[in-house]
Amino acid sequence: MLVGLHCHQPFLDVVDAWRNRQDDKPTRPAAIVQLAEKGLAVVTPVTRTSAKAAAKAADLAANEIDRMTDQTLPDEERISRKRRLLKGPKEFRDFREDHPKKSKQ
């Protein structure tokens, strides 16, 4: 199957440097295929974060948010902004693979 691909010059420079170091001197398209295959071969499954690690990360993030927040804002606004930052955008929450899915009962 033929696939057309537009690449930026810096990417092609890196590909060319890699292919020139190979013993078999692959063509540029063959080098791109080989690099893609190598990248796909090392994909590791996403592991779930332990509850302890997640709590620690949330605590560190909350402390940093508190440190960086504009203290002139009303308390309610600061709390609302902090909650939005910690929870993340609603449209992305369901895509997280490292968080347990909440049952919809």
- Interval 14-54: pLDDT, tens: 999 999 999 999 999 999 999 999 988 887 777 777 889 88
Domain extent at residue 55? 51-90
3-state helix, strand, coil in the chain (%, to 5): 60, 0, 40
| Residue 55 in domain | yes
81 in the same domain as 57: yes
The mean pLDDT of the chain is 87
pTM: 0.45
* Residue 34 and residue 56 in one domain: no
Asked if residue 4 is part of any domain, the answer here is no
Residue 77 lies in a domain: yes
* Position 60 in a domain: yes
Cβ-based neighbours of 54, under 8 Å, separated by 6 or more = 99
Please check whether residue 46 lies inside any domain of the structure.
no
Q: Write phi, then psi, for 103 (nearest 5 degrees).
A: -75, 145
**Burial, 90: exposed, middle or buried (Cβ in 10 Å; 0-12, 13-18, 19+)?**
exposed
Give the pLDDT of residue 66: 93
Q: Is residue 99 part of a domain?
A: no
* Count: domains in the chain: 2
93 Cβ neighbours under 8 A, 6+ residues apart: 87, 99
Query: Smallest Cα–Cα separation from 19: which of 28, 10, 8?
Result: 28
Q: Tell me if 32 is assigned to some domain.
A: yes
